[in-house]
Chains A and B, each alone.
Chain A
Amino acid sequence: MEPTNTEAPEYFHRVVDCQWACPAHTPVPEYIRMIAEGRHADAYMVNWKSNVFPGVLGRTCDRPCEPACRRGRVEAEPVAICRLKRVAADNKGDVSARMPGPAAQKNGYRVACVGAGPASLTVARDLAPLGYEVVVYDGDHRAGGMIRSQIPRFRLPESVIDEEVGWITALGPEMRLGQQVDSLKALLDMDYDAIFVGTGAPRGRDLNVPGREEARANIHIGIDWLSSVSFGHIEKIGRRVIVLGGGNTAMDCCRTSRRLGGADVKVIVRSGFDEMKASPWEKEDAMHEGIPILNFLAPKAFTHENGRLTGVVFEAMGWQTDAGGRRKLLPTGEPDQHFECDDVLVAIGQENAFPWIERDIGLDFDEWGMPVVDPVTFQSTNPKVFFGGDAAFGPKNIIWAVAHGHEAAVSIDRWRRGQDVRLRPPPGVTLVSQKMGIHEWSYENDISNDERRKVPLLETKKALADVKAEVELGFDRPLSLAEAHRCLNCDVQTVFAAPLCIECDACMDVCPTDCITFTANGAEEDLRSRLKAPAENLEQPLYVSGALKTGRVMVKDEDVCLHCGLCAERCPTGAWDMQKFLLEMTHAGGGAQCQAR
């Protein structure tokens, strides 16, 4: 293999598994250390810069960082990264003085954001301080998008949304709330320099089976019903409730029902338990509240009497292999089952809808009715119009909406400056030695053996009594400290200087996880088979040095490195050093030389 190019920011970035996996590339270990030090406000600001909604995300994020976390490969469970973010938000104190204010000078450019969800609000946050006049439209009367309308209050208190939406509205964008945009053409005719579409995926899929019309009064579309609950229009539901669907919306529907009078609430899913779209922790939370999940049952008809819903008929399903050898979910032929109920919530999927976008304005749509959007620049085929969040590529989640918003803001800024939007600003990167003494490092390198901590919950009886009572209580100080210490500081990189190595084997001998091998060079596949411990995780890179004195090379498998620094402590010549790698994404208006991506 060629010697690893550690100058390219991608190499060390990849080693920080959580940051690499985070769509907004939040410097996770950096803020976790701050939490350990009790610097909650600093930890909050690191988050705020990257992901805009730390308090919201600390309670609701889909947390792609956690399955990626190195700790999960070394021990059973990843660091509770998401809930540590909440700790920063809950304990930050007053950070208003650290927040930017409106731009001192306007730059004369106007940007319209359609929708006031996390994607649009991120665009507004990134552009308003640069002097842009940002106008945000939303059909709803309150800003926040689905954060406000969909996510139930018992998972996300309104005060948290208010505070974090508030940091953005304080930057001075014009908030035109309660104003649905019903023609993009009309908007294009106004004097906006660019338009960002962040309208989400607002339509809930319906279930058209016999009885749907007749029993209409007690059959509700999940996301419409949830927003009615959020906005206070619905306060009650029947005693027996069936929720159809296996995604996160279904989990929110059933848990909300339990709080609005549903005593007998069931989730009934077409597929098996493991194939359900809901995150494992959401399923767990629902079951914890006494909600059974029934699998392999497909709804066939609604039963009704005198115009009132009486129940749902289900057909038994099972995995079968078809002629072509593919696994398919098909009826098993067993007798149908009837479940009685008073209300049904349909949560079987979400769709995009763009009835307000004309098809003759140079903005192309694909065969599925989705706008054609560049995945790097977020520009549509009408160069003035950018998309992001659920509106760009279908329903995802908040952190992706934020990441899209940052990139779209970069594009809008470059586009109006007449710069090539395909060229992207590189991230800001620093690499600093952590050495304080022969055996002292400026980070905590003593590896904790503790298991993942659970977030304490409100007593179920109390939780079910109030739809607004937050269920998770958050980590207290001892819990957050213990959890923070589980982080392995993957950003403190093992940096190797081949010319200093005397090949004494000390690093290889001391390494607790057999990461390091000195051996003859070879092709990657060959090298991976010859290391001190098998390097079978192909997702994880090998760090290869140039030729050493004996002609061999140093090969480090990054997979299960604990970042304990023992290799550097045992190295007599300082060939190994522990250096903190801090990567910050460049947002709109920042950055030096741009590169094609």
Chain B
Amino acid sequence: MTYIAKPQFHHPELPRNALGFTRRDYEGRVSTLCAGCGHDSISAAIVQAAFELDLEPHRLAKLSGIGCSSKTPDYFLGASHGFNTVHGRMPSVLTGANLANRDLIYLGVSGDGDSASIGLGQFAHAIRRGVNMAYIVENNGVYGLTKGQFSATADAGSKSKRGIVNHDNPIDMVSLALQLGASYVGRGFSGDKSQLTPLIKGAILHKGAAFIDVISPCVAFNNHPGSTKSFDYVREHNEAVNRLDVILGRTPIHADYEPGTVAEVTQHDGSVLKLRKLAADYDASDRNRAMAYLQERQSAGEIVTGLLYVDPDSSDLHDHLHTAATPLNRLGDAELTPGSGALDAINASLR
């Protein structure tokens, strides 16, 4: 970590968003991660996404577990709410927060160790319940914070920095999320922010469980030849199926696209996801075909990136539970204690 505070001065021409904020206003403290860590690039993409979405910082809560990745919420959105929870337990804390106050935007930030090892169960249940959140896994194939042990997402056959080969089968978080019913699933690469930033924007706007797996090289323990999560390896094997543009309801649409190359998805809030197809046969609206495609390309050694699946008519946990539109934390005594008459009526209905 640097010993100086990041200078306040910014570029004089730095654009301001609808709220009058510059991108710099969405930053957090200076990162304490290793220089060059992929996670820092993801933080930068989150900052950019929040800026572009004209997000009011107080409307967002960032939650994380334990790990280098889980430390990053300190380095972005310094004016937002934050909860650095326990190893692997971020999904349940996030679920609880979401139940108590459905009005906030929830950003879960986790690592492959945090979500695929110790927190795999928590991850699975938050996704299958359709908690309204953007869940980002910063996936480097190792436990960075504890000095680089293989994590559950490390590919079989990949080599550690000291030359040890991993024989266990990897957990593919994207396939898992698809299978568990996530209604927005993407994969990005920390080294390609132009692809990643719109993926994050779309996820933040999405209603329901949005999941993004971001390959994020650990420069300290997993960026060597033989690693399948290194900058070089990912650049060589990256197969982007599409490029996403997120268009906010009020923004006029300028871009011209070749006919037939763009799929448009309008989300519940009116935002439009424009998907420029790169792989002609890829259809992001079909969950089953997406899963098959992923398996197929994966076995060919490719890392499929892009917006892999989106359900524009998604629903979330609150829909399923029929909770009140007013956040629970804002209900007063009158609403919360309807009186013995109401209790009697309930009891009677159960007899």
Contact = CB atoms under 8 A, between A and B. Distances in A.
Interface of A: 73-75, 438-440, 445-447, 449, 502-506, 509-510, 512-515, 533-534, 536, 549-550, 560, 562, 564, 566, 569-573
B11 A560 contact: yes
Nearest to B36: A572
Q: Is the contact region of chain A dominated by helix, strand, or loop, or is it mixed?
A: loop
A570 to B, nearest CB: 5
Given A512-B9, A534-B13, A504 B231 contact: yes
B37 interface: yes
5 contacts: A504-B36, A506-B41, A509-B43, A513-B10, A560-B11
Q: Among the interface residues A440, A533, A536, A573, which one has the most CB atoms of the partner chain B within 10 A? A: A533
A505 B44 CA distance: 10
B191 interface: yes
B7 to A, nearest CB: 4
Q: Among the interface residues A445, A506, A564, which one has the most CB atoms of the partner chain B within 10 A? A: A506
B3 interface: yes
A439 B1 contact: yes
A440 B4 CA distance: 10
Given A446-B5, A504-B36, A505-B44, A514 B219 contact: no
B14 interface: yes
B231 A514 contact: no
Q: Among the interface residues A509, A533, A570, A573, which one has the most CB atoms of the partner chain B within 10 A? A: A509
Contact of B36 (A75, A506, A534, A549): A506
A571 B3 contact: no
Nearest to A533: B11
A512 B6 contact: yes
Nearest to B193: A505
B36 A571 contact: yes
Given A513-B9, A570-B35, A506 B3 contact: no
Contact of A445 (B4, B44, B217): B4
A74 B9 contact: yes
Nearest to B23: A514
A114 B219 CA distance: 68
B40 interface: yes
Given A549-B235, A572-B37, 16 more contacts: A440-B3, A502-B223, A504-B36, A505-B41, A506-B36, A509-B44, A510-B40, A512-B9, A512-B24, A550-B235, A560-B11, A560-B12, A564-B4, A566-B30, A570-B36, A572-B35
B28 to A, nearest CB: 12
A573 B2 contact: no
A512 to B, nearest CB: 5
Given A504-B217, A572-B34, A513 B11 contact: yes
A572 B7 contact: no
Nearest to A532: B11
The 8 A-B residue pairs whose C-beta atoms are closest, nearest first, are A572-B36, A447-B7, A509-B44, A533-B11, A446-B4, A504-B36, A572-B35, A512-B7
B38 interface: yes
Nearest to A74: B9
B146 interface: no
B11 to A, nearest CB: 4
Interface of B: 1-14, 24, 30-31, 34-38, 40-41, 43-44, 190-191, 193, 217, 219, 223, 231-232, 235
Contacts of B219: 502, 504, 572
A509 B36 contact: no
A438 B3 CA distance: 10
B36 A573 contact: yes
Contacts of A447: 4, 7-9
Contacts of A510: 6, 30-31, 40
A439 B34 CA distance: 12
B35 A569 contact: yes
A111 B191 CA distance: 66
Q: Among the interface residues B8, B36, B223, which one has the most CB atoms of the partner chain A within 10 A? A: B36
Q: Among the interface residues A440, A446, A505, A514, which one has the most CB atoms of the partner chain B within 10 A? A: A505
B56 to A, nearest CB: 23
A509 B41 contact: yes
A530 to B, nearest CB: 12
A562 B36 contact: no
A573 B3 CA distance: 19
B9 A504 contact: no
Contacts of B30: 510, 566
A111 B308 CA distance: 83
B12 A569 contact: no
Q: Among the interface residues B4, B24, B219, which one has the most CB atoms of the partner chain A within 10 A? A: B4
Contacts of B8: 447, 449, 512
Nearest to B27: A512
Nearest to B9: A74
A510 B34 CA distance: 13
Nearest to A572: B36
Nearest to B47: A509
Contacts of B5: 446
A506 B284 CA distance: 32
A98 to B, nearest CB: 35
A326 B19 CA distance: 44
